[in-house]
A and B are shown apart, each in its own frame.
Chain A
Amino acid sequence: MSDTSIAMGSPSEPLRFHVEGEHHVENGTLLGFWLYLMSDCLVFACLFAAYGVLGRNYAGGPTAAQVLELPVVAVNTTLLLLSSITYGFAVLEMQQNRRAPMMAWLTVTGLLGAGFIGLELTEFAHLISIGAGPQRSAFLSSFFTLVGTHGLHVTCGIIWLITLMVQVGKKGLIPANKRRLMCLSMFWHFLDVVWVGVFSFVYLMGVLP
């Protein structure tokens, strides 16, 4: 490979490899985590497809327009979007190696995420209490599976967030912790991306007449 490059360049020019511009991936963790997110994306794609197929099969039960409450979803969407930007602020503080403000932003992110989960659980409890549980119809089965899986991911994200805050508290902003925080950053923003699909495809389009 290098022999070819040398043969092609004139003697006066400095030696160049044709791979010069490429940055070798020194730590594959972020790429590996990205690949995990993409496989997770396929899981959600299957659940979205199931909802797309079954979402109008009410079996004589309540329809999406009857049971889904958009104001709650609007608040939930706001909470998740805000938690995305506060995690972004935490990453900015991390880049500056400012630990205390970073931890503060992570706390805000966790609280916003917890608020999201709380509202979602309230909504689920309300649906089940009025007899619109997952066993009522194919629509509700696919709805609970899709939205519940997303909620489960957010819950895992919050647990991960708390774990990382404890780790940063004990060991500081060492490179390993920065790497973990970047992985969680990708995970958290990815969940917001999935939520965009959920509120558009399930809630907004479901409520339309």
Chain B
Amino acid sequence: MSEHTQPVHGDDAHEHDDSGVGAIHATLKGYMTGFALAAILTAIPFWLVMSGAFAKTGPADALILLLAGIQIIVHMVYFLHMNTKSEGGWNMLALVFTIVLVVITLSGSIWIMYHLNSNMMPWTMQDARNQP
């Protein structure tokens, strides 16, 4: 039985070298695409804020965060070579788990502390500035 299955394992094995680096195939095209996208996604929010194009904070915040999110995905795909298959899917699993923890940490902290602040701080910023 082992004789029959040997070729299958042989095919698998020769795709890897000792360093384990063979699994990643970086290409010039991939890096340049990532760089161009990242540059555009960086330039837009900087231009929006520095030119003062936004009068209201709310939509600007949302847009900046959206562009940052897209740029992070661009970095992950083109620079960090993330895909669902690398390392047998364990990379992606760890990433998804981390994203869940990050979202809970960030949104949970900001949400809870915002309510604590509004419930427990009788002072406004104006009061704090005018204190003796």
Contact = CB atoms under 8 A, between A and B. Distances in A.
Interface in B74-105: 75-76, 79-80, 85, 87-88, 90-91, 94-95, 97-98, 101-102, 105
A81 B54 CA distance: 25
Interface residues on A, range: 35 or more
Contact of B65 (A46, A192, A200): A200
A80 to B, nearest CB: 10
Interface string B23-36: 11011100110110
Q: Which of A16, A179, A200, A209 has the most CB of B within 10 A?
A: A200
B21 A204 contact: no
Contacts of B39: 81
A49 B65 contact: no
Contact of B21 (A2, A53, A60, A179): A179
Q: Is the interface of B mostly helix, strand, loop or mixed?
A: helix
A59 interface: yes
A156 interface: no
Given A20-B8, A52-B110, A92-B31, A26 B49 contact: no
Interface of B: 1, 4-5, 8, 12-13, 15-21, 23-24, 26-28, 31-32, 34-35, 38-39, 42, 45-46, 49-50, 54, 57, 60-61, 64-65, 67-68, 71-72, 75-76, 79-80, 85, 87-88, 90-91, 94-95, 97-98, 101-102, 105-106, 108-110, 113-114, 125, 128-129, 131
6 contacts: A15-B1, A50-B109, A70-B50, A175-B19, A179-B19, A201-B68
